[in-house]
Amino acid sequence: MIRKIIQIDEEKCDGCGLCASACSEGAIRMVGGKARLVSDTYCDGLGACIGECPQGAITIVEREAAEFDEAAVERHLAAAEEGERGAVPAAAAEALACGCPGSMIRELDPAAEAREAAGDEVEGIPSHLRNWPVQMHLVPQGAPYLDKASLLLAADCVGFAYPDFHRGLLAGKTLIVGCPKLDDAAFYREKLASILRENDIRELTVAYMEVPCCSGLVNLARQALRESGKDIPFRTVKVGIQGELLEDEKDPPALRV
């Protein structure tokens, strides 16, 4: 049938992920750093995503397309939600029944008291990492290290660019990392909202790079915070490509709810 449906210009798309977050049907996902229409049947053609695209990469066109299927959308969203809750698909869970060492939950001891007592006399640069795993896809929503945590959501590149990452940003915080350009921004938003909703998070800090696409991490974090219904202190830290600290700001309460 001929009907209205979205079209994404990959040349204009900068991978910010805002359209995926705005699509309540889950029709748009981030694949290889670009927005993709997952299936014609998931797109209602109303274009709620268009206003969220800062690059003007999304338009409505009329073309041959499968009919919008609301039942298929419900199944699609239910499967995505189940995958988010389970973290590991059922088929994979059986294969990992013995426990994968790489994704095993661990609360690490950075020996903060010893470092503080020794001050600058400590040889080398100590780690302030308090938890494992740290990648958003692997962090269980009910991990014990999330309880009463000061949460740091950091873009993948921040730890490489910012020379004082451990002492200046990570100290005393629980870490989650991800890339808003290459990963699934909608999944991140939904999972972060669940983490904030289901745990007693004391504060949320988002550390991101100065490149335009990285601001998508801040946007999805703000959306997740609103969706959680929580009033949690929210801080953003922007890091330059040369490693300099460009901005360090706290949102007023009006922006948090």
Ranges of each domain in the chain: 2-86, 105-256
Structure pTM?
0.58
pLDDT value at 121 more than 80: no
Pick from 212, 208, 256, 203: which is nearest to 236 by CA?
A: 208
| 2-86 to CATH, choices 3.30.70.20, 3.40.50.300, 3.40.190.10, 3.30.1330.60 | 3.30.70.20
Q: What gap in Å lies between CA 54 and CA 8, rounded to an integer?
A: 13
Length of the chain: 257
Asked whether this chain's domains 2-86 and 105-256 adopt the same fold, the reply is no
**According to the model, what pLDDT value does residue 224 have?**
95
pLDDT value at 211 more than 70: yes
β 28-31/34-37 pair status: antiparallel
pLDDT value at 86 more than 50: no
pLDDT value at 108 more than 70: no
Q: Which residue has the higher pLDDT, 33 or 25?
A: 25
Most confident of 50-59, 81-90, 92-101: 50-59
Q: What gap in Å lies between CA 131 and CA 163, rounded to an integer?
A: 20
Most confident of 76-85, 88-97, 123-132: 123-132
Where does 105-256 sit in CATH, by number?
3.40.50
**According to the model, what pLDDT value does residue 117 have?**
52
Question: pLDDT confidence of 78, banded at 50, 70, 90?
Answer: confident
Q: What gap in Å lies between CA 27 and CA 198, rounded to an integer?
A: 26
Q: What gap in Å lies between CA 56 and CA 125, rounded to an integer?
A: 45
